[in-house]
Protein backbone atom coordinates (compact mmCIF):
# COMPACT_ATOMS: atom_id res chain seq x y z
CA UNK A 1 0.00 0.00 0.00
CA UNK A 2 1.30 3.47 -0.87
CA UNK A 3 0.60 6.77 0.90
CA UNK A 4 -2.00 7.56 -1.73
CA UNK A 5 -3.85 4.33 -0.97
CA UNK A 6 -4.43 5.17 2.68
CA UNK A 7 -8.13 5.25 3.60
CA UNK A 8 -9.82 8.60 3.09
CA UNK A 9 -9.49 10.43 6.45
CA UNK A 10 -12.43 12.71 5.69
CA UNK A 11 -15.01 9.95 5.61
CA UNK A 12 -15.98 10.86 2.05
CA UNK A 13 -16.49 14.60 2.52
CA UNK A 14 -15.76 16.77 -0.49
CA UNK A 15 -12.91 19.27 -0.65
CA UNK A 16 -15.15 22.28 -0.01
CA UNK A 17 -16.65 20.65 3.08
CA UNK A 18 -13.18 19.88 4.41
CA UNK A 19 -12.13 23.50 3.85
CA UNK A 20 -15.24 24.75 5.63
CA UNK A 21 -14.57 22.48 8.62
CA UNK A 22 -10.98 23.71 8.85
CA UNK A 23 -11.99 27.37 8.54
CA UNK A 24 -14.61 26.95 11.26
CA UNK A 25 -12.28 25.01 13.52
CA UNK A 26 -9.48 27.55 13.33
CA UNK A 27 -11.76 30.48 14.07
CA UNK A 28 -13.01 29.03 17.38
CA UNK A 29 -12.05 30.47 20.75
CA UNK A 30 -11.18 26.98 21.98
CA UNK A 31 -8.46 26.60 19.33
CA UNK A 32 -6.87 29.88 20.41
CA UNK A 33 -6.97 28.78 24.05
CA UNK A 34 -5.29 25.46 23.24
CA UNK A 35 -2.80 26.54 20.55
CA UNK A 36 -1.99 30.12 21.50
CA UNK A 37 -1.98 33.06 19.10
CA UNK A 38 0.43 31.56 16.56
CA UNK A 39 -1.58 28.36 15.90
CA UNK A 40 1.58 26.35 15.15
CA UNK A 41 4.53 24.64 16.86
CA UNK A 42 7.42 26.89 17.81
CA UNK A 43 5.29 30.03 18.06
CA UNK A 44 6.88 33.33 17.06
CA UNK A 45 10.38 31.93 17.66
CA UNK A 46 9.99 29.50 14.78
CA UNK A 47 8.19 32.19 12.75
CA UNK A 48 11.28 34.37 13.06
CA UNK A 49 13.45 31.45 12.02
CA UNK A 50 11.26 31.00 8.93
CA UNK A 51 11.38 34.70 8.01
CA UNK A 52 15.15 34.71 8.49
CA UNK A 53 15.49 31.55 6.40
CA UNK A 54 13.72 33.16 3.43
CA UNK A 55 15.86 36.27 3.89
CA UNK A 56 12.92 38.66 4.23
CA UNK A 57 14.06 42.26 3.73
CA UNK A 58 12.59 45.68 4.49
CA UNK A 59 10.20 46.80 1.77
CA UNK A 60 9.70 43.34 0.27
CA UNK A 61 6.16 42.19 -0.45
CA UNK A 62 5.20 39.08 1.51
CA UNK A 63 2.11 36.89 1.15
CA UNK A 64 1.15 35.01 4.32
CA UNK A 65 -1.01 32.05 3.27
CA UNK A 66 -3.51 30.86 5.92
CA UNK A 67 -2.68 33.92 8.00
CA UNK A 68 -5.17 33.16 10.78
CA UNK A 69 -5.67 36.03 13.20
CA UNK A 70 -2.66 37.85 11.75
CA UNK A 71 0.08 37.11 14.28
CA UNK A 72 2.79 36.33 11.73
CA UNK A 73 1.75 39.00 9.24
CA UNK A 74 1.91 41.71 11.90
CA UNK A 75 5.29 40.46 13.14
CA UNK A 76 6.69 40.52 9.59
CA UNK A 77 5.44 44.07 9.03
CA UNK A 78 6.53 45.39 12.43
CA UNK A 79 9.92 43.72 12.90
CA UNK A 80 11.04 43.09 9.31
CA UNK A 81 9.53 46.13 7.58
CA UNK A 82 7.78 43.95 4.99
CA UNK A 83 4.65 44.86 3.01
CA UNK A 84 2.35 42.01 3.98
CA UNK A 85 -0.82 40.54 2.50
CA UNK A 86 -2.40 37.89 4.70
CA UNK A 87 -4.91 35.46 3.20
CA UNK A 88 -7.25 33.23 5.17
CA UNK A 89 -10.33 31.15 4.39
CA UNK A 90 -12.02 32.10 7.67
CA UNK A 91 -13.88 35.41 7.39
CA UNK A 92 -13.97 35.59 11.19
CA UNK A 93 -10.17 35.36 11.38
CA UNK A 94 -9.77 37.98 8.66
CA UNK A 95 -11.95 40.39 10.63
CA UNK A 96 -9.96 39.74 13.80
CA UNK A 97 -6.69 40.26 11.93
CA UNK A 98 -7.89 43.52 10.41
CA UNK A 99 -8.93 44.73 13.84
CA UNK A 100 -5.46 44.00 15.23
CA UNK A 101 -3.63 46.24 12.75
CA UNK A 102 -2.15 49.22 14.58
CA UNK A 103 -2.28 52.64 12.93
CA UNK A 104 1.45 52.64 12.16
CA UNK A 105 1.12 49.35 10.26
CA UNK A 106 -2.03 50.18 8.29
CA UNK A 107 -0.06 51.08 5.16
CA UNK A 108 2.02 47.88 5.34
CA UNK A 109 -0.48 45.18 6.30
CA UNK A 110 -3.64 43.99 4.55
CA UNK A 111 -5.79 40.94 5.12
CA UNK A 112 -7.93 39.18 2.53
CA UNK A 113 -10.61 36.52 2.63
CA UNK A 114 -9.37 33.97 0.13
CA UNK A 115 -8.42 30.41 -0.75
CA UNK A 116 -4.83 29.13 -0.81
CA UNK A 117 -5.74 27.20 -3.95
CA UNK A 118 -6.70 30.44 -5.76
CA UNK A 119 -4.63 33.26 -4.28
CA UNK A 120 -6.10 36.71 -5.05
CA UNK A 121 -2.90 38.22 -6.44
CA UNK A 122 -1.39 38.70 -9.94
CA UNK A 123 1.41 36.57 -11.33
CA UNK A 124 4.87 37.55 -10.09
CA UNK A 125 3.54 40.19 -7.70
CA UNK A 126 5.41 39.32 -4.49
CA UNK A 127 8.93 38.68 -3.24
CA UNK A 128 8.16 35.95 -0.74
CA UNK A 129 5.40 33.58 0.38
CA UNK A 130 5.08 31.80 3.70
CA UNK A 131 2.66 29.16 4.91
CA UNK A 132 2.82 27.92 8.49
CA UNK A 133 1.26 24.61 9.53
CA UNK A 134 -1.45 24.80 6.87
CA UNK A 135 -0.32 23.05 3.67
CA UNK A 136 -1.09 19.80 5.48
CA UNK A 137 -4.81 20.67 5.67
CA UNK A 138 -5.26 21.87 2.09
CA UNK A 139 -7.22 19.25 0.11
CA UNK A 140 -5.37 20.10 -3.13
CA UNK A 141 -1.80 20.58 -2.00
CA UNK A 142 -0.36 20.55 -5.52
CA UNK A 143 -2.58 23.45 -6.60
CA UNK A 144 -1.71 25.40 -3.44
CA UNK A 145 2.01 24.94 -4.14
CA UNK A 146 1.51 26.01 -7.75
CA UNK A 147 -0.34 29.13 -6.59
CA UNK A 148 2.50 30.06 -4.24
CA UNK A 149 4.94 29.75 -7.12
CA UNK A 150 2.68 31.69 -9.49
CA UNK A 151 2.51 34.83 -7.37
CA UNK A 152 6.29 34.90 -6.84
CA UNK A 153 8.63 36.99 -8.96
CA UNK A 154 11.72 35.23 -10.37
CA UNK A 155 14.17 34.91 -7.48
CA UNK A 156 11.33 34.99 -4.96
CA UNK A 157 11.25 32.57 -2.04
CA UNK A 158 8.69 30.27 -0.47
CA UNK A 159 8.97 29.23 3.17
CA UNK A 160 6.72 26.62 4.73
CA UNK A 161 6.73 25.04 8.16
CA UNK A 162 4.49 22.05 8.62
CA UNK A 163 3.74 18.79 10.33
CA UNK A 164 5.05 15.75 8.52
CA UNK A 165 3.70 12.23 8.92
CA UNK A 166 4.21 8.69 7.74
CA UNK A 167 0.60 7.98 6.64
CA UNK A 168 1.07 4.22 6.66
CA UNK A 169 2.04 4.22 10.34
CA UNK A 170 -0.52 6.66 11.77
CA UNK A 171 -2.52 5.08 14.63
CA UNK A 172 -6.32 5.10 14.43
CA UNK A 173 -6.54 7.97 16.94
CA UNK A 174 -4.75 10.23 14.47
CA UNK A 175 -7.01 9.63 11.47
CA UNK A 176 -10.42 11.02 10.51
CA UNK A 177 -11.74 14.53 9.92
CA UNK A 178 -10.94 15.81 13.42
CA UNK A 179 -7.32 14.75 12.99
CA UNK A 180 -7.28 16.43 9.56
CA UNK A 181 -8.38 19.72 11.12
CA UNK A 182 -5.67 19.15 13.74
CA UNK A 183 -3.08 19.07 10.93
CA UNK A 184 -2.27 15.37 11.27
CA UNK A 185 -4.49 13.07 9.18
CA UNK A 186 -3.43 14.43 5.78
CA UNK A 187 0.11 15.52 6.68
CA UNK A 188 2.73 14.08 4.32
CA UNK A 189 6.36 12.98 4.62
CA UNK A 190 8.94 15.75 4.27
CA UNK A 191 10.05 14.24 0.98
CA UNK A 192 6.56 14.68 -0.44
CA UNK A 193 6.40 18.37 0.52
CA UNK A 194 9.72 18.79 -1.26
CA UNK A 195 8.30 17.01 -4.31
CA UNK A 196 5.21 19.27 -4.30
CA UNK A 197 7.38 22.39 -4.35
CA UNK A 198 9.69 21.02 -7.03
CA UNK A 199 6.70 20.04 -9.18
CA UNK A 200 5.67 23.72 -8.97
CA UNK A 201 9.05 24.60 -10.56
CA UNK A 202 10.61 25.74 -7.30
CA UNK A 203 14.13 24.82 -6.16
CA UNK A 204 14.32 23.59 -2.57
CA UNK A 205 17.28 25.15 -0.78
CA UNK A 206 16.72 24.21 2.86
CA UNK A 207 15.00 21.53 4.94
CA UNK A 208 15.18 21.74 8.75
CA UNK A 209 13.61 19.42 11.31
CA UNK A 210 12.07 20.97 14.45
CA UNK A 211 10.82 17.87 16.25
CA UNK A 212 11.20 19.50 19.66
CA UNK A 213 8.76 22.27 18.69
CA UNK A 214 6.02 19.76 17.87
CA UNK A 215 6.62 17.73 21.01
CA UNK A 216 6.51 20.86 23.15
CA UNK A 217 3.27 22.06 21.56
CA UNK A 218 1.56 18.72 22.17
CA UNK A 219 2.59 18.90 25.82
CA UNK A 220 1.37 22.50 26.07
CA UNK A 221 -2.01 21.55 24.59
CA UNK A 222 -2.33 18.70 27.11
CA UNK A 223 -1.50 21.04 29.99
CA UNK A 224 -3.95 23.70 28.81
CA UNK A 225 -6.67 21.11 28.32
CA UNK A 226 -6.12 19.81 31.86
CA UNK A 227 -6.47 23.37 33.15
CA UNK A 228 -9.65 23.92 31.15
CA UNK A 229 -11.08 20.70 32.58
CA UNK A 230 -10.70 22.16 36.05
CA UNK A 231 -11.99 25.68 35.40
CA UNK A 232 -14.36 25.35 32.46
CA UNK A 233 -15.58 21.77 32.15
CA UNK A 234 -19.25 22.76 31.64
CA UNK A 235 -18.20 25.03 28.78
CA UNK A 236 -16.16 22.23 27.17
CA UNK A 237 -19.16 19.91 27.47
CA UNK A 238 -21.32 22.61 25.88
CA UNK A 239 -18.87 22.86 22.96
CA UNK A 240 -19.04 19.11 22.48
CA UNK A 241 -15.40 18.47 23.37
CA UNK A 242 -14.89 14.76 24.02
CA UNK A 243 -12.34 14.97 26.83
CA UNK A 244 -11.64 11.24 26.87
CA UNK A 245 -10.96 11.18 23.14
CA UNK A 246 -8.89 14.37 23.34
CA UNK A 247 -6.64 12.73 25.90
CA UNK A 248 -6.16 9.59 23.81
CA UNK A 249 -5.39 11.67 20.71
CA UNK A 250 -2.73 13.67 22.57
CA UNK A 251 -1.19 10.48 23.98
CA UNK A 252 -1.11 8.96 20.50
CA UNK A 253 0.46 12.12 19.08
CA UNK A 254 3.22 12.15 21.71
CA UNK A 255 3.97 8.50 21.00
CA UNK A 256 3.99 9.16 17.24
CA UNK A 257 6.54 11.95 17.68
CA UNK A 258 8.72 9.69 19.82
CA UNK A 259 8.51 6.90 17.23
CA UNK A 260 9.34 9.18 14.30
CA UNK A 261 5.87 8.96 12.74
CA UNK A 262 5.19 12.67 13.24
CA UNK A 263 7.66 15.54 12.89
CA UNK A 264 7.75 19.26 12.14
CA UNK A 265 9.86 20.68 9.32
CA UNK A 266 10.81 24.02 7.82
CA UNK A 267 11.31 24.06 4.06
CA UNK A 268 12.56 26.93 1.90
CA UNK A 269 12.44 27.01 -1.89
CA UNK A 270 13.29 29.60 -4.57
CA UNK A 271 11.72 30.45 -7.90
CA UNK A 272 14.35 30.41 -10.70
User: ∠138-174-239 over CA atoms, to 5°?
Assistant: 80
Rounded to whole angstroms, the Cα distance separating 234 from 169 reads: 35
pLDDT band at 179 (very low <50, low <70, confident <90, very high): low
Query: Using 50, 70 and 90 to split pLDDT, how confident is the model at 176?
Result: low
Kindly list the domain boundaries of the chain, sorted by start residue. Answer: 3-270
Q: Are strands 83-88 and 203-209 parallel, antiparallel or unpaired?
A: unpaired
H/E stretch holding 113: strand 109-113
* CATH 3.40.50.150 for domain 3-270: yes
What percent of the chain lies above the pLDDT cut of 90? 62
Angle at 42 between CA 187 and CA 47, to 5 degrees: 95
Is the pLDDT reported for residue 13 higher than 90?
Answer: no
- Are 139 and 167 within 8 A, CB to CB? no
pLDDT tens-digit series, residues 156-175: 999 999 999 998 898 888 87
pLDDT tens digits, 261-271: 999 999 999 99
Res 24 pLDDT > 60: no
- Residues 107-150: pLDDT tens digits? 999 999 999 999 999 999 999 999 999 998 898 999 999 999 99
Entry pTM: 0.84
Amino acid sequence: MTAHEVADPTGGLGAEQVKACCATGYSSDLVTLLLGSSYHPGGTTLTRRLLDAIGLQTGERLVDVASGIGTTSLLAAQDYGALVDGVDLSEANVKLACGAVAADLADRTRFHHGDAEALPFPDGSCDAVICECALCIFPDKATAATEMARVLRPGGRVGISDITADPLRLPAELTGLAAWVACIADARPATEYRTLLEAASLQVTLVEHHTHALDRMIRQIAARLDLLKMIARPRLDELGVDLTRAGSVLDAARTAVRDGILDYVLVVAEKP
